[in-house]
Structure 1
Amino acid sequence: MYNTLTYGDLGKAAKDVFNKWYGFGMVKIDLRTKSCSGVEFSTSGHAYTDTRKGSGNVETKYKIYNYGLTFTQSGKLKASYKWDCFSLGSNFDIDFSEPTIYVWAVLAFEGWLAGHQMSFDTAKSKLSQNNFALGYKTADFQLHTQVNDDTEFGGSIYQKVNEKIETSINLAWMASSTNSHFGIAAKYKLGCRTPVC
């Protein structure tokens, strides 16, 4: 059974090479546990060493395997459904002054991926995000492109060279600017728990 990605997971492997192990000027913590009944609890947070400001998150996740449903409770209420070649999800921001509804869908076919994400601001009765993504994924290679609100454009390439080496290229630009962003990153595992980025 092919497990279709969520919209937030599209291009994640390339983003992780750039972001996951780089924490200059920052302290990160990520704790996870699972109860005997299958309920997952996770706590994460970060603090900047120069400003001493930080934030954190506590999340509870429960899966109903018979129906392919996952419920997550945090500052947002999330629900998602995954099937062989399709995944669908929604988030509801629990801010009663300005509640926002997020909806996403991803289709997969023979390694090709297409996704759409949008958010609706209920206080303003207005679509506040409209994002599209296309990509291709194999076991050791990923290509990802996205368009956010018809103004931000980007793409990434991820290659897992072998069990120890991962590489990534990232490119982004905005319609309102002539500037573009380009990056190359690599990760090398010295041992099972010691990466060098």
Structure 2
Amino acid sequence: MLKAEQTHLASPCRLCCSPCPADRQDLSHTRNKMAPPVYADLGKSARDVFGKGYHFGLLKLECKSKTSTGVEITAGGSNALESGKVAGNLETKYKVKEHGLTFTEKWNTDNTLNTEVALEDKVAKGLKLVLNTTFAPQTGKKSGVLKSTYKTDALSVNLDSTLDLGGPVVNGAGVASYKNWLVGYQMSFDTAKSKLTKNNFVVGFTNPDFILHTYANDGAEFGGSLFHKINPELEGAVDLAWAAGSNTTRFSIGCKYSLDKDAAVRAKVNNSSQIGLGYQQKVRDGITLTLSTLIDGKNFNQGGHKVGLAMELEA
């Protein structure tokens, strides 16, 4: 009888809903901590509120497709309503996942060819190397940039250099994170002139629905942005900047509201009394239509307001 009781007591948690403490596994070491964003992506959530969904003064068309072999093709064009200038571009991208390679080729109506080769997570985990070259056949002008990005759980580092035998320009940036805080630094050094041409600092705070970004550029421009996801449908952002040289202040506030999963409205206004409005509608799978307008509040009755229309096709 005692043996039977001991047998029962040895495995009670296999018959109940709660796991036995002895059988629990500590999985905390398997949780992947996100690396901090690279310097160029700091404040991106707020910039998207002010930038995405607006095409003032343009008629724009963009088409995306993917072949059976995995080649991604993007073709687009735009017409500037005021000047009548037409611009077009074509981009192809192919990924060789087993080797961590991505090949990207771009062409635009300015007759500029751009080729990019990226290698990621093969030389070292978290390391991405990119070679970007540009060639203009009409003028014969060539340029190249070698880029590198390294990410760990608490640090993201960028180091870029132009391929110029006369004296490359070296750009570097780093962002470190501690809990919800971010600290970053960006510099640019012209080796031909032996001069530091960029000296920027940033401090930020982030959590899932609130992002604060403040910066100081070259000791002459100071500012920051605030992004808040108020609820699943509504996003808001504030942008503020002050330039010491001209003693001018820039202030903007914007928001995006999702009417449903296929439609969204956007609005923004700045201290120059410029009011931007946008409406985006997913007509059907693969077809998205965007209407936008920029209203000059100071000269409302004189006209000169801008409108924009964009259509995105994806197959």
TM-score range, shorter chain: 0.7 to 0.9
Deviation (angstroms), 1:73: 3.1
Kindly indicate whether residue 118 of structure 2 is the aligned counterpart of residue 61 of structure 1.
Answer: yes
Q: What is the TM-score with the length of structure 2 in the denominator?
A: 0.55
Deviation (angstroms), 1:67: 1.7
Deviation (angstroms), 1:91: 1.6
Q: Secondary structure at the match of 1:67?
A: coil
CA deviation string 1:152-197 (max 9, x = no partner): 1111110011222110000001011222010000011233343311
Amino acid at match of 2:119: Y
Q: 1:53 to 1:106 in 2, by over 3 A?
A: farther
Any residues of structure 2 matched to 1:20-169 within 5 Å, and which? 20-26=52-58, 27=60, 29=62, 47=78, 49=80, 50-51=82-83, 52=85, 59-64=116-121, 66-75=124-133, 76-94=145-163, 99-169=168-238
Aligned to 2:257: 188
Q: Secondary structure at the match of 1:15?
A: helix
**Most deviating of 47-56 and 95-104:** 47-56
Aligned to 2:48: 16
C-alpha distance in 1, partners of 2:258/2:182? 29
Q: 1:35 to 1:146 in 2, by over 3 A?
A: farther
Is residue 134–residue 144 contact of structure 1 (8 Å, CA) maintained in 2? Answer: yes
Q: 1:67 to 1:193 in 2, by over 3 A?
A: same
Q: 1:196 to 1:43 in 2, by over 3 A?
A: same
CA deviation string 1:80-112 (max 9, x = no partner): 111111111112234555631110000100110
Q: Secondary structure at the match of 2:45?
A: helix
C-alpha distance in 2, partners of 1:10/1:109? 15
Deviation (angstroms), 1:147: 0.3
C-alpha distance in 1, partners of 2:44/2:242? 18
Deviation (angstroms), 1:62: 3.1
C-alpha distance in 2, partners of 1:60/1:32? 21
C-alpha distance in 2, partners of 1:46/1:95? 32
C-alpha distance in 1, partners of 2:250/2:217? 15
Is residue 42–residue 60 contact of structure 1 (8 Å, CA) maintained in 2? Answer: no
Percent identity over paired residues: 37
Kindly indicate whether residue 244 of structure 2 is the aligned counterpart of residue 175 of structure 1.
Answer: yes
C-alpha distance in 2, partners of 1:172/1:55? 33
Q: How many residues of Structure 1 are paired with residues of Structure 2 in the alignment? A: 195
Q: Secondary structure at the match of 2:208?
A: coil
Deviation (angstroms), 1:116: 0.1
Aligned to 2:102: none
Which residues of structure 2 form unaligned runs of 5+? Answer: 1-32, 90-105, 107-113, 134-144, 267-315
CA deviation string 1:92-136 (max 9, x = no partner): 234555631110000100110000000111221111100000010
Amino acid at match of 2:180: G
